[in-house]
Amino acid sequence: MIADFGNILLFLIHGALFVALSLFVAKLIRPHRPNAEKLMTYECGEVPIGSARVQFNNRFYIIGLMFLIFEVEILLLFPWVMVFQDIGWFAFWAMFVFVFLIFIGFAYELGKGHLQWDIPRPVVPKYVEGVGVVDDYPAKEPASSEPALDEPALQTGVNR
Amino acid sequence: MAEAEVNSYVVLGAALFMLLNSAAICVYAERRIASFIQNRIGPNRVGPLGLFQPLADVVKLLLKEDVTPVQGFRTIHTIAPMIPVVTALLTVAVIPFGDGIYVTDINAGVLYLLAAASLGVYGVTLAGWASNSKYSLLGGLRAAAQMVSYELPLGMALASVVIFVGSLSVVDVAVAQENWWFVFLNPLGAVIFIIAAFAESNRTPFDLVEAEQELVGGFHTEYSSMKFGMFFLAEYMHVVINSMLITTFFFGSYHLPFAGYWLPEMSTTAKAILDITVFTGKTAFFIFLFIWVRWTIPRFKFNQVMSLGWSRLLPLSILNFIVIAAILFAINA
Amino acid sequence: MATYAFVLLAVLAVASALAMVLNKNTVNSALFLVLNLMSVAGLYLLLHAQFLAIIQILVYAGAIMVLFLFVIMLLNVDEEESLFDKFRAIYLVAFLLGVVVFGQIVYSLGGVTDLLPEISADMAYVGTVEAVGEVLYTTYLMPFEMTAILLTAAVVGALMIAQYKVKTSDQEE
């Protein structure tokens, strides 16, 4: 049984060899004439501004986290698939409770809007007779009003 | 036993060789079909009907200068293109091509497929990060988030197939479809699996990763020469492999429809030839589907991709799984 | 054959673990950790624990390390900070504790003569997915459901942390 994994090891070795060999052959025969412009990071021909190590949206982190939780759930369902015929309804309810519990967390996340991307609201310019083009953009809130606390985008009905 | 060993090595060599070649054929097919759909001629200069075009592409890629941005991470920049090719090659190890024609039959084959798919995420993410370009970083992150998200419906769809088989070995899955293909028993699972497979191989309508209007080249903006070639190869290998997986899990693998009911007994050789022909034919059809969809359907927006994956496909696939389980219980009880 | 594989994997595991700790670049460290996890998965395979090995690759190398990479990229820890700029007593204590633990491990391994145990059919069966499923959904059902609660709690907690936002300079004005 475990010897079958040996074939997979062969695949791994062959794959790695193939990749390494083709990259090596390319290295031997290709020209190498670098200059400053070539080696610059591509930014549509401009000189790049700043480093690309920027901080990005932390939703990616949340996606990774949710993936982890659900991956564990799915992997724990696979053993269940193998044995549920033997154990019977008891196993079915056990699985059901498990999935339901995971779903509570999922529902919480979905309800909070964590899985929905922010979309900038389109600004449509409006033409008013005698005045000209008026920005329909909402005017600055008066300073007294409390700025809305940062719940991640709950109003994502736009643009779906 | 020794004969079986030799046999599996033959299959191993053939599988590796054919997979690499099928990627080349797939490139040619894509260009010809694209030009047919767009009412162009397509490549027709190199060899008869332009058949040697992929070969010319490879030679061109080999001869191109390799440019690595100085601010990037040289080591990771070099390692990243190798990862998707190797994981794609690993996937094919457990797929049966005919009755008794497979490289290896491991007890946890379905999980192994998922594992190989999940490792493929590293290639694009690291490529995006190591290039030190904003486009690459965004492309790599999008790719990672998308592949990771669609792996879940993919896994659930696989689970809803395995429930019929009661074994995690891919060979058993293929054998179990002799009479009824699983697409008839589990149509929703098949749809979910096909959508997720499209997303996993980063093809249109899910090719946000390299949305050229906004991200230039996505994660491979800073790649050139054979390193780019590796990503290119990996993309087409993923198309081929995902077609094979769709065939294997839902469209009867190497069986003709309802073959168990009407197919007469045959000699081993004839059966092997028939099996491989059927399997290849189905795979070719799904490769064609991949290409057809690419040149027909426009690209989604990223928020749409994410909301499709998380708030539609994932709950749907879990529901599908539970309903199928309940029905099977009710039938058996 | 198995012994050679074991030695190879063990050396790989230890070397990649060392490389992970000693490497100054965080992304490189994370990649060495992936290598380490995979070689440990290989060791599980040698013990015929298939399910564990594949779970190790799927969950640890495939999911947790992707999350780690996201966090590393998100935090952008580019500047290298030397730990040993100034000497602190706590480093000495940590070093001594490490030596003690290492000594214990070496001592407990001293009596071992055969590298790999002979694996009987029963032992091989325990590692398969069916065996895991049988005990998971009958004997260990309670801890299993607890895992679900734990995972839910982890989701909610992590979301609370991710939601927290420092006041921007905009609002301070």
DSSP per-residue letters across B72-88: S-HHHHHHTTHHHHHHH
The answer to whether position B15 is within a domain reads no
Domain enclosing residue C56, as ranges: 1-78
Q: Do A27 and B66 touch (CB under 8 A)?
A: yes
Task: Specify the number of domains making up chain B.
Answer: 1
Q: How many CA atoms lie within 13 A of C103 on its CB side?
A: 6
Compare A76 and A58 and report the one with higher pLDDT.
A76
The answer to whether position C38 is within a domain reads yes
Identify the band that residue C45 occupies on the pLDDT scale cut at 50, 70 and 90: confident
Chain B residue numbers touching A79 (CB-CB < 8 A): none
Identify the band that residue C97 occupies on the pLDDT scale cut at 50, 70 and 90: very high
Per-residue pLDDT of B14-53, as tens digits, reads: 777 888 888 888 888 888 888 888 888 888 888 788 888 8
Q: Which residue of A has its CA nearest to B104?
A: A4
Nearest CB partner across the interface for B105, out of A4, A18, A33: A4
As a whole number of angstroms, the distance between CA C57 and CA A71 comes to: 12
Chain B residue numbers touching C50 (CB-CB < 8 A): 106-108
The answer to whether position B151 is within a domain reads yes
Q: Do B129 and C57 touch (CB under 8 A)?
A: no
Comparing A103-107, A111-115, B308-312, the range with the smallest average pLDDT is A111-115
pLDDT at C117: 67
Per-residue pLDDT of A29-52, as tens digits, reads: 888 777 777 777 777 767 777 666
Compare A47 and A2 and report the one with higher pLDDT.
A47
The answer to whether position C25 is within a domain reads yes
Cα C18 from chain centre: 14
Q: Report ipTM for this prediction.
A: 0.82
pLDDT at C131: 84
CB-based contact B252:B181 (threshold 8 Å): yes
The answer to whether position C136 is within a domain reads no
The answer to whether position C147 is within a domain reads no
Q: What is the mean pLDDT of residues A74-90?
A: 82
B144 touches chain A (CB under 8 A): yes
Q: Do A54 and C76 touch (CB under 8 A)?
A: yes
Chain C residue numbers touching B138 (CB-CB < 8 A): none
Q: What is the mean pLDDT of residues C90-104?
A: 90
Q: Do B145 and A63 touch (CB under 8 A)?
A: yes
Question: Residue C171: pLDDT above 50?
Answer: no
The answer to whether position B23 is within a domain reads no
Q: What is the mean pLDDT of residues B123-148?
A: 84
- Dmax (CA) for chain B in angstroms is 67
The answer to whether position B134 is within a domain reads yes
As a whole number of angstroms, the distance between CA B327 and CA A77 comes to: 17
pLDDT at C79: 58
Question: Residue A141: pLDDT above 80?
Answer: no
Q: What is the mean pLDDT of residues B252-277?
A: 81
CATH number of the domain to which C44 belongs: 1.20.120.1200
pLDDT at A129: 75
Q: What is the mean pLDDT of residues B152-160?
A: 91
Amino acid identity of C8? L
CB-based contact B155:A74 (threshold 8 Å): yes
- Alpha-carbon separation of residue B278 from B25, B97, B236, B251, C102 (angstroms): 18, 9, 21, 11, 59
The answer to whether position C166 is within a domain reads no
As a whole number of angstroms, the distance between CA B145 and CA B149 comes to: 6
Question: Residue A6: pLDDT above 50?
Answer: yes
Per-residue pLDDT of B231-248, as tens digits, reads: 888 888 889 999 999 999
Task: Specify the number of domains making up chain C.
Answer: 1
**DSSP string covering B23-76, please?**
HHHHHHHHHHHHHHHTT---S-SSSGGGTTHHHHHHHHHHHSPP---TTS-HHH
The DSSP output letter for A40 is S
CB-based contact C75:A54 (threshold 8 Å): no
The answer to whether position C24 is within a domain reads yes
Which of A8-12, B47-51, B221-225, C32-36 is predicted most confidently? Answer: C32-36
pLDDT at A155: 46
Q: Do C159 and A112 touch (CB under 8 A)?
A: yes
The answer to whether position B193 is within a domain reads yes
R_g of chain B, CA atoms, integer Å:
20
The answer to whether position C139 is within a domain reads no
- Residue closest to C141 by CA, chosen among B331, A93, B93: A93
Question: Residue B167: pLDDT above 80?
Answer: yes
Q: Do A61 and C165 touch (CB under 8 A)?
A: no
Question: Residue A146: pLDDT above 60?
Answer: no
The answer to whether position B32 is within a domain reads no
For each of the domains in chain A, give its residue range(s) and CATH number, in order of start: 15-48+57-112 (1.20.58.1610)
Percentage of chain C with pLDDT > 90? 14
Question: Residue C40: pLDDT above 80?
Answer: yes
pLDDT at A123: 63
Question: Residue A154: pLDDT above 60?
Answer: no
pLDDT at A156: 45
Tell which of C1, C43, C58, C152 to mutate to test the A interface (max A CBs under 10 Å). C152
Question: Residue A160: pLDDT above 50?
Answer: no
Question: Residue C170: pLDDT above 60?
Answer: no
Identify the band that residue B192 occupies on the pLDDT scale cut at 50, 70 and 90: very high
pLDDT at C172: 39
The answer to whether position B279 is within a domain reads yes
CB-based contact B128:B140 (threshold 8 Å): yes
The answer to whether position B9 is within a domain reads no
C137 touches chain A (CB under 8 A): yes
pLDDT at C96: 92
